[in-house]
Amino acid sequence: MRIHLLLIILIMSVALVACGGDNVEDEAVTLVTPPIVQPTDTPLPTDTPTPLPVVVETVDSAETPTPTLEPTLTPEPTPTETPIPVTLAQSVELEWIIGGYARPLYLTHAGDERLFIVEQQGVVYAVLDGQQLPGPFLDIRDRVNNNANERGLLSIAFHPDYPNNGRFFAYYTDASGAAVISEFAVSDDPNVALANSERQLLRVGQPYENHNGGHLLFGPDGYLYAGFGDGGSQGDPQNNGQNAESLLGSIIRIDIDNGEFYAIPADNPFVADDSARNEIWSIGWRNPWRISFDRATGDMYVADVGQNLIEEVSFEVADSSGGLNYGWNVMEGSSCYLSEACDRAGKVLPIIEYTHAAGGCSITGGYVYRGAQSPALWGNYLYVDYCFGDIFAAANVDGVWQTRMVLPTEMIISSFGEDAAGELYVMDHVNGDIYRIVNGN
């Protein structure tokens, strides 16, 4: 079955993995020179200490539509005053929720009971209690370019005050292959967005068709974060990962509540550096495929897709001041890239890494479980490999990161998702099914 699965991946050419591409654009182009903190409207232009690495210890081991409904807000769970001890999960199971989607790529929530399922082609559907609500929530297929493995509508993010302002944001690739971050608004119908309300905030040219990053999410600080790949091809030929003057190969942090398009938070790490883009929060990324914040601690987890050898997960504490360098393309994981020796100074090493020896090819990051339905998963970070299909859990137990496989699958899992209550989901990219993750023990 493993061989059949890999053949399916190669034939369908839908893997979000490291691959070459045609040159489509030479450099990043943004729509705005943003102000810092207290912004003034600006016209459109044309264009640290390093934490010690933690040793990773490996442990063996068809829908029925429902009438339009007003959503009910679901408050996010808060951690108990006495922290729940974290133990490495033994196993998980999958509970089928709904299916029939075309290459589902992401799942998120708007602070209520609905699930929002993102199709790579540019359509978003709302689901409530296991039933898809009538019609798409958003359809922007007319402007989304998904003609390559890693292009398309890659994620959406709802404003923290969405119930009051109806604002949400999308990250997609356009006709030229450029990465676009846009703002949209909901209509008078809470289950239908206004596709014609789009306001582009940022556009970043992609020199190749792969490594588009694509995750938008709000941090605990209320700012919008976005991950950009290094621009593509192989080996980062433009050296974007180590170039703070380029948004490619970085994670950015912007204030979307100020400025003509957005503003720069005053505590962004490069606000006083004329040789770096002020939007940047961290650099040294190859293709960050899924970023998450632990809703109990505020810590950040980033899964970064490797080149030919190593997949990795990096960790950043909640009180970080940013400005960290995660290594690419000097390093791939904790190893020097294409050389036996390299300058490791100032590079942050991953907390989890694995090689392609077992058949993996492209890591997909998940979330730290903080829901209420599966207590054995509490505090575990889940991740998967797109080619391998097995779901892994990782946990920091007594200061040591441990990881084990908790569910073998034959699925091609494109992404994890999280609902308002902290329950986690996975998406079968090929068969179009959505599953909830539940206790297996």
Confidence of residue 358 (pLDDT cuts 50, 70, 90): confident
User: Per the structure block, which two tokens stand in for 319?
Assistant: 């009180």
User: Which pLDDT does position 400 carry in this prediction?
Assistant: 94
Q: How many helices (H) and strands (E) does the chain have?
A: 2, 29
Q: Tell me, rounded to whole angstroms, the distance of Cα 191 from its chain centroid.
A: 24
State phi, psi for 120 to the nearest 5 degrees. Answer: -60, -30
User: Which pLDDT does position 83 carry in this prediction?
Assistant: 61
User: Per the structure block, which two tokens stand in for 98?
Assistant: 């709904």
According to the per-residue pLDDT averaged within each range, which of 22-26, 36-40, 212-216, 221-225 is highest?
A: 221-225
Kindly give, in sequence order, each residue whose CB lies less than 8 Å from that of residue 85, ignoring residues fewer than 6 positions away.
none
- Higher-pLDDT residue of 73, 313: 313
| Other CB atoms within 10 A of residue 184 CB | 21
User: Which pLDDT does position 433 carry in this prediction?
Assistant: 98
CA distance linking residue 426 with residue 434, whole number of Å: 6
User: Which pLDDT does position 52 carry in this prediction?
Assistant: 33
CA distance linking residue 270 with residue 257, whole number of Å: 20
User: Which pLDDT does position 441 carry in this prediction?
Assistant: 63
Does pLDDT of 84 surpass 90? no
Can you tell me the mean pLDDT for 132-151?
94
User: Per the structure block, which two tokens stand in for 124?
Assistant: 């978003």
CA distance linking residue 113 with residue 67, whole number of Å: 15
Q: What is the DSSP string of 367-425?
A: EE---SS-GGGTT-EEEEETTT--EEEEEEETTEEEEEEEE-----EEEEEE-TTS-EE
Confidence of residue 15 (pLDDT cuts 50, 70, 90): very low
User: Which pLDDT does position 401 carry in this prediction?
Assistant: 96
Of 37-41, 84-88, 374-378, the least confident: 37-41
**All structural domains of the chain:** 2-439 (2.120.10.30)
Confidence of residue 209 (pLDDT cuts 50, 70, 90): confident
CA distance linking residue 207 with residue 24, whole number of Å: 5
CA distance linking residue 91 with residue 391, whole number of Å: 9
How deeply is 257 buried, as exposed, middle or buried, from its count of CB atoms within 10 A (0-12, 13-18, 19+)?
middle
How deeply is 311 buried, as exposed, middle or buried, from its count of CB atoms within 10 A (0-12, 13-18, 19+)?
buried
User: Which pLDDT does position 149 carry in this prediction?
Assistant: 79
Sheet holding 352-355, edge to edge: 288-293, 300-304, 310-316, 352-355
Can you tell me the mean pLDDT for 234-242?
94
User: Which pLDDT does position 20 carry in this prediction?
Assistant: 38
Burial 75-87 (b: 16+ CB within 10 A, else e): eeeeeeeeeeebe
Rg from Cα positions in the chain = 20
Q: Could you tell me if 241 and 284 are in contact, meaning their C-beta atoms sit under 8 angstroms apart?
A: yes
User: Which pLDDT does position 18 carry in this prediction?
Assistant: 38
Phi-psi group of 209: left, alpha or beta (phi > 0 → left; psi -120 to 50 → alpha; rest → beta): alpha
Does pLDDT of 106 surpass 70? yes
How far apart, in Å, do the first and last CA atoms of the chain sit?
25
User: Per the structure block, which two tokens stand in for 425?
Assistant: 């989901």
Q: What is the DSSP string of 237-260?
A: TT-GGG-TTSSTTEEEEEBTTSSS
User: Which pLDDT does position 201 carry in this prediction?
Assistant: 98
